[in-house]
């Protein structure tokens, strides 16, 4: 059965001609096909883009730009409630609130590694002969806060968090409602700790994440340990130590997980928790 059509640029390059992509599906029995098509129709009813507009939560106005969310009063109030909960929970766990600028000199992004590994997704511009970039991540500002004063090992761990709005130069073809956008606010935290504190900090983060999933009603999820990609920074021994700390933490929490080979960030391995949507 043919399901829908969509436009697509040849080889994903917007400079190439626009082509038509035809989607279809097939099953071994008519019963399985009917079940699948019914599931698609039910999913359309629950599409957050449709519900967001109907409930007056948010709009995406092409005159403002694709992938840029405008929150209406009801949506802004709901977001404020969620962010208030986020702040309260972080503070109760020993995190300190931080706020970084939305733009910084490109030199900072070069030092952090983002410029070499993430440049194609960054908005870069000039101010009085100096190159700046709109932040795609919050990391460098938190590092600068830590660097701004002398620290003792007795001060550690130090936990900074920010509900930071970031901007990424996503291609128009991959944008999708609130799930893939060009500007979004993320709950972002950075913890400075001793090597021997690492596993305990990771386990505390896992507990926090699982608690948040429970509060918001997410029960169906899968966990993955994403390892060193081909393009990365840092010494292999540091990657091995970090990956082992993540692995040890997952196993001590008795969590089932898959290994996602080569799918870590350029700056480190990570634990991915992927949620199942309504259907």
Question: Does one domain contain both 74 and 136?
Answer: yes
Domain-embedded: residue 52: no
CB 270 within 8 A of CB 246: yes
Is the pLDDT assigned to residue 15 strictly greater than 90? no
Domain-embedded: residue 210: no
Tell me the per-residue pLDDT of 107-141, one tens digit each, with 9 for 90 and over: 999 999 999 998 999 999 999 999 999 999 999 99
By C-alpha distance, which of 145, 159, 33 is closest to 91? 159
Question: Does one domain contain both 175 and 230?
Answer: no
Domain-embedded: residue 94: yes
Question: Does one domain contain both 158 and 77?
Answer: yes
Rg (CA), the chain: 22
167-179 burial, b for 16+ CB within 10 Å, e for fewer? bbebbebeeebee
By C-alpha distance, which of 110, 114, 108 is closest to 169? 114
CB 134 within 8 A of CB 169: no
List alpha helices for 46-186, DSSP H: 48-54, 73-92, 106-112, 114-118, 139-147
Question: Does one domain contain both 69 and 187?
Answer: yes
Question: Does one domain contain both 68 and 41?
Answer: no
Q: Specify the CATH number for the domain of residue 101.
A: 3.30.930.10
Question: Does one domain contain both 103 and 29?
Answer: no
* Predicted local confidence at residue 279, as pLDDT: 64
Tell me the per-residue pLDDT of 174-228, one tens digit each, with 9 for 90 and over: 899 999 999 999 999 999 999 999 999 999 999 999 999 999 999 999 999 999 9
Question: Does one domain contain both 87 and 173?
Answer: yes
Residues with Cβ within 8 Å of residue 242, at least 6 apart in sequence? 198, 268, 269
Question: Does one domain contain both 156 and 261?
Answer: no
Domain-embedded: residue 209: no
Look over the chain and give the mean of its residue pLDDT values, rounded to a whole number: 94
CB 120 within 8 A of CB 169: yes
Number of Cβ atoms within 10 Å of the Cβ of 78 = 15
Domain-embedded: residue 89: yes
Domain-embedded: residue 212: no
Question: Does one domain contain both 40 and 86?
Answer: no
Question: Does one domain contain both 240 and 178?
Answer: no
Question: Does one domain contain both 92 and 26?
Answer: no
Domain-embedded: residue 207: no
Domain-embedded: residue 55: no
Question: Does one domain contain both 149 and 243?
Answer: no
Number of structural domains (the chain) is 3
Residue 110: domain span: 62-192
């Amino acid at each position: 059965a043919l399901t829908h059509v969509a436009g697509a640029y040849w080889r994903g390059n917007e400079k190439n001609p626009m082509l038509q992509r035809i989607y279809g599906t097939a099953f071994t029995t008519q019963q399985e096909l009917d079940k699948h098509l019914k599931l698609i129709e039910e999913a359309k009813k629950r599409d957050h883009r449709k519900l967001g507009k109907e409930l007056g939560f948010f709009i995406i106005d092409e005159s403002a730009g694709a992938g840029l969310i405008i929150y209406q009063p009801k949506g802004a109030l709901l977001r404020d409630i969620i962010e208030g909960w986020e702040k309260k929970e972080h503070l109760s766990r020993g995190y300190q609130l931080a706020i970084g600028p939305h733009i910084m000199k490109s030199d900072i992004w070069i030092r952090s590694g983002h410029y070499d590994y993430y440049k194609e997704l960054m908005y870069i511009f000039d101010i009085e002969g100096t190159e700046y970039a709109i932040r795609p991540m919050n990391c460098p500002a938190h590092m600068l806060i830590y660097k701004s004063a002398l620290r003792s090992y007795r001060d550690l761990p130090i936990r900074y968090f920010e509900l930071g709005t970031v901007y990424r130069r996503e291609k128009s073809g991959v944008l999708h409602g609130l799930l893939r956008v060009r500007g979004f606010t993320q709950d972002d935290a950075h913890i400075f700790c001793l090597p021997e504190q690492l596993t305990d900090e990771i386990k505390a983060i896992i507990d926090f994440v699982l608690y948040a999933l429970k509060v918001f009603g997410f029960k169906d999820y899968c966990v993955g340990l994403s390892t060193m990609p081909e393009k990365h920074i840092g010494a292999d021994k540091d990657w091995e130590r970090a990956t082992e700390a993540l692995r040890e933490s997952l196993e001590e929490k008795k969590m089932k997980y898959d290994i996602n080979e080569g799918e870590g960030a350029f700056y480190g391995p990570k634990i991915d928790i992927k949620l199942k949507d309504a259907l």
